[in-house]
Amino acid sequence: MSPSAGGLVVFLLSVQVIQSQDGWGVNYRQTDVCAAKGSEVFITCDYTHPPGIDPSDIKDTFWFTKEKDGEPVDLTTDSEYSGRVTYGCNGKSCYLSITDVRESDSAEYKLTLMTNKPGEKYTGSPGVTLSVTGLQVQVRRSDSTWLELTCHSSCVLSDRAEYVWYKNEENIKTGSSLLVSSGSTDRYSCNLRGSSGQRSPAVYGPQRPSVSASPSAEMLEGDSVTLTCSADANPAANYTWYKGDGTSDPRLLSEEPQLVFSSIQSSDFGWYFCTAENQLGRKTSEFILIRVKYGPQRPSVSVSPSAEMLEGDSVTLTCSADANPAASYTWYKEHEDSPRASGQIFTITDFTAEHSGNYYCEAQNEMGRSNSTLLLITESGVDGTTRIIHITRWPLLVVMLILLLVFCLWTRKKKAVSSTTEPHESREAVEMDLHPECEDLSDMAAQREDPEEQEDRV
């Protein structure tokens, strides 16, 4: 048989290796062969026989790699080689041809000769060891602008092997290496010249990475959440995770394909993105918004106007709380079951003494609810002045002391007004002094006030 003209053929043309026994011998041309996956291997050998054997006495010759029950198995009967193996002899010269070789074909191949005499056979051993390798493109940076691509195999191919390079399926060059620009988005592969087999896997820079969140991009505070970055690339890409919305410098979080939150918190809310990079290029993913659901934090209350106001004026209370989803708001007056108002803003128009008391707001969403601190609005003074005092988690006794202090101040002011008809020298003394009992109350309040939770008086 002549070698196939359609593909690369590996011929074995090295120093003969001779195995002989009682005049029998097989001369393999080479004992170790390296072939690229998809190519055709062509093995030749010569055999000798004892002088008393006529060539016609040799009734059969075949090649094998396996034995069954101690007997060699003809390659043509092995299903793994079906349609890919042919062999034959011309006189004392024999050959073996394997087309479209696979990595599973890596094995030791031997020739067996059988005569007309029952049980008489001879096997040339050791045989020929075939190693089948796939081609790979190795990438090496030449300088800041260029990359050098080299066609590589795991075993040493024939010195006569030539390589062909492909760019996006188009044949562009012959040679062992190829220079390409850094950051190229093209795909490069190589093959043996004349081979009908498979090319090497193509190398290329990362495509735009995709990002995903598991279980989802909207989760509950305390959940375990994993963000995954993936990109089609060869060689495989390296990944980096960042947090940022593109308006400022992003914060580097991880250099792994996955970003894991074992217990996600409300502070983790925000935009995330990843990059994928290999020797040929770098790409950035789209942003993914992580929404963490959590109940309202303790609401804060603001008052407008913030200064003292007169009876009949309007006062506007505003409640706000950090929450996701956004909270709804309800306003209450202490010791009343029915709410005074709903919504973030509560306005009291035409304020009178009846409106005096403690107010608070409640923020609520599907995750929970939270109440603000008390807001004391009291009308005091003969001039109808209204005072607003924030009370922050104080014990009831302290609240009562504050009310008594307010009363003392009011009494003092009243006394100061009445003293305007007295001699001028006593006016300043009256305004500067508190009643002794009020001084005691002031000291008690100061002692019981939590230093970390000070009142906010408006």
Q: What is the pLDDT of residues 162-217, one digit of tens each?
A: 889 999 989 898 888 899 988 778 999 998 887 766 789 999 999 999 999 998 86
Neighbours of 24 (CB within 10 A): 18
* pLDDT at res. 304: 85
Handedness of CA 300, 306, 308, 312 (dihedral sign): negative
Average pLDDT of the chain, as a whole number: 80
* pLDDT at res. 183: 79
Better-predicted residue by pLDDT, 243 or 59? 243
Where do we find the tokens 């050998």? 45
Amino acid at 363: A
Given a cut of 90, is residue 118 above it in pLDDT? no
Neighbours of 428 (CB within 10 A): 11
Better-predicted residue by pLDDT, 23 or 9? 23
Find the mean pLDDT for residues 370-382.
77
Note whether 191 and 135 are within 8 A (CB).
Answer: yes
Whole-angstrom distance, CA of residue 405 vs CA of residue 440: 10
Given a cut of 50, is residue 422 above it in pLDDT? no
Given a cut of 70, is residue 441 above it in pLDDT? no
Ranges 42-51, 172-181, 284-293, 415-424: which has the least confidence: 415-424
Buried (b) or exposed (e) across 280-304, using 16+ Cβ within 10 A?
bbebebeebebebbbbbeebebebe
Given a cut of 70, is residue 384 above it in pLDDT? no
Note whether 288 and 227 are within 8 A (CB).
Answer: yes
Given a cut of 70, is residue 20 above it in pLDDT? no
> What six digits make up the tokens of 25?
């011998």
Confidence of residue 109 (pLDDT cuts 50, 70, 90): very high
> What six digits make up the tokens of 274?
């990843």
Find the mean pLDDT for residues 121-144.
89
Ranges 89-98, 154-163, 280-289: which has the least confidence: 154-163
Note whether 184 and 198 are within 8 A (CB).
Answer: no
- Where do the domains of the chain lie, and which CATH numbers do they carry? 9-132 (2.60.40.10), 134-192 (2.60.40.10), 210-293 (2.60.40.10), 300-457 (2.60.40.10)
Phi-psi region of 443 (alpha: psi -120 to 50; beta: other; left: phi over 0): alpha
* Beta-sheet strands, E only, within 155-285: 163-167, 170-174, 177-181, 188-192, 210-214, 218-220, 225-230, 238-243, 251-254, 258-261, 270-278, 281-284
Handedness of CA 411, 417, 422, 425 (dihedral sign): positive
> What six digits make up the tokens of 190?
């190589």
- pTM tops 0.95, yes or no: no
Distant-in-sequence, close-in-space partners of 421: CB < 8 Å, separation ≥ 6? none
